[in-house]
Amino acid sequence: MRYLNFLSAFIVLGTVVIFSSCSKEKSATTGWEYNDPKNGGFEVADYKGQETGPGLVFVEGGSYTMGANYDDPMYEHNSPPRKVTVRSFYMDETEVANVDYLEYLFWINRVFGSDYPEVYRKALPDTVVWRDKLAFNEPMVQLYLRHPAYHYYPVVGVSWVQANDYCAWRTDRVNEMLLVERGILDPDPDQLNENNFNTEAYLAGQYEGLVNKNLQDLNPNSTGERGVRMEDGILLPNYRLPTEAEWEYAALALVGNNVYERVIDRRIYPWNGYVTRTNEKHYYGSFVANFKRGDGDYAGIAGTLNDGAIIPAPVGSFWPNDFGLFNMAGNVSEWVSDVYRPLSYEDMSDLDPYRGNIFKRKVRDSEGLIAEKDEFGRLKYEPVPAQDLIDRKNYRKADNVNYKDGDFESSINKDDWLKQEQDSHSSTMYDYSVTTMINDKARVYKGGSWKDYAYWMMPSTRRFLDENGATDYIGFRCAMDRIGDPSGY
């Protein structure tokens, strides 16, 4: 009897599973079935979650105290503590290495080198940053970027603008590979000039490529096939520079130091404690990062080079922090996306704080269609015009870089307000090259480097450089938005 009851239950359960697997998902609001050409073909993707892009590590978001939690020996007072929250995101496990950047240069030269050599020249790192008037660094000028011995060392001599261009290129190459891996496109090594894969141009129907097999289009009025759309969940979001808040949060990595939302051990470095040496048994006393120990001391004494690196060390050296990120202190400082302002935390949002927004839209033609891509294969953008912002509540102008700090409303001199009709920026607070080096092109870089003392390895310290500037101690790493579930499951 037990056997018969079990068999009956098994048959019923199997029948339910079969019928449920055959039924299609329906709209909860209209009752119409999704993905059915008989109903018009509205498609809803079976989305399994965001794929982790190459080189990235997941960083689960949360709240933390952004800014200084120590005395300010520099008396700069430019990072007051403030409680903020950042959304989950991804970040490169290591800094971008020379070999990664050489791949980028090779692709640019192959695609644009014949007709637009200036694109290649614009992307070249400034290797002359290694020169010093009173030092012999000429071998570094010639060898550091290109010699295979330095392939896996962090790229330097790259400006903030160049780093952003690299992020855009990387986005397109990764998304192109995703389409190739899924059999939608075939590899096309003959891409040239404007005929190169660009994610936005592809989505806008302005790039087709070597099609292997398009997706099925369920719209009964269509040709029966189509390219990939963003709604399919196949393409990844943009690689980009992390915001200052994201970078600092990722560097501190307090995920390993909290119990039931209580941080049991605050950090001033990306590791626990107040010293720069490890207490691990087999490496006791070794430095945990690559930095300048003192005047004239970059690595210790021959035979016992403590941090093992006189200049930058290979990416992935030393120990990762609790998010699995390497060299978030020392080795090279890193560009972040923010425009620099002192005391900027006071005027920032407490959710994903960031300064540097210039809101743009795609350029459209006289018929309202997206304008033809440019000679480099990219869609054209323009700042949102003022006439489109009259009734907006969340922002009233496209350029918000100097909002509340450098614009007319933030000036204490009311006479400046009268100039607003003549000039969109006030020079009263930031008189560039006269009383300050801060302007709307000053970009933040974070973290200490091989050339810095330990103080600058604190994630909350911050410095700035013109977005077109470059040094022998600033590199970068990329980040990417996490879409959907912030826990990463």
pLDDT single digits (tens) 119-153:
999 999 999 999 999 999 999 999 999 999 999 99
Residue 181 has pLDDT above 80, yes or no: yes
Cβ-based neighbour number of residue 28 at 10 Å? 6
**Residue 75 pLDDT more than 70?**
yes
Q: For the segment 98-118, what is each residue's pLDDT rounded down to a tens digit?
A: 999 999 999 999 999 999 999
Instruction: Dump pLDDT digits (tens) for 304-331.
Output: 788 889 999 999 999 999 999 999 999 9
> Considering the domain boundaries, does residue 188 fall inside one?
no
12-43 pLDDT, tens digit per residue, is 445 444 444 456 799 999 999 999 999 999 99
**3-state percent breakdown (helix, strand, coil) of the chain, nearest 5:** 25, 15, 60
Question: 90 forms bridges with which residues in the sheet?
Answer: 58, 480
Q: What is the pLDDT of residue 12?
A: 46
CB atoms within 10 A of CB 76: 13
- Domain membership flag for residue 270: yes
> What does the alpha-carbon distance between residue 355 and residue 364 come to, in Å, rounded to a whole number?
28
- Residue with the larger pLDDT of the pair 48 and 285: 48
417: left (phi over 0), alpha (psi -120 to 50) or beta: alpha
Token pair of 473, please? 């101690």
Residue 379 lies in a domain: no
User: Do 85 and 352 touch, CB atoms closer than 8 A?
Assistant: yes
Joined together, the tokens standing for residue 64 give 């933390």
Host domain of residue 90: 57-182+234-356+445-481
CATH code for the domain of 104: 3.90.1580.10
Q: Are 264 and 257 in contact (CB under 8 A)?
A: yes
Q: Residue 250 contacts by C-beta under 8 Å, 6 or more apart in sequence?
A: 59, 91, 242, 323, 325, 328
Q: What is the pLDDT of residue 2?
A: 47
Q: How many domains does the chain have?
A: 1
Q: Using alpha carbons only, how large is the chain's radius of gyration in Å?
A: 26
Structure tokens belonging to residue 433: 């090259």
Residue 307 included in any domain: yes
Assess if residue 130 is contained within a domain: yes
Nearest of 145, 44, 39, 164 to residue 99 by alpha carbon? 145
* Nearest residue to 255 via CA among 101, 371, 86, 423: 86
- pTM for the model stands at 0.92
DSSP string, 316-331: T-S---TTS-S-SSSS
- Provide the pairing of β-strand 56-59 with 89-92: antiparallel
Q: Answer yes or no: are the C-beta atoms of 322 and 253 closer than 8 Å.
A: yes
Residue 108 included in any domain: yes
How far apart are alpha carbons 196 and 112 in whole angstroms?
10
Residue of higher predicted confidence among 432 and 218: 218
Q: 345: pLDDT confidence band, cut at 50, 70 and 90? A: low
Nearest to 104 by CA among 128, 123, 78, 126: 123
Q: What is the DSSP letter of 368?
A: S
| DSSP string over 274-290 | SSSB---GGGTT-BSS-
Asked if the structure places residue 419 within a domain, the reply is: no
Is a pLDDT exceeding 80 seen at residue 290? yes
- Average pLDDT over the chain reads 90
Residue 489: inside a domain: no
Per-residue tokens: 276: 């720069």
Between CA 71 and CA 10 the distance in angstroms is 69
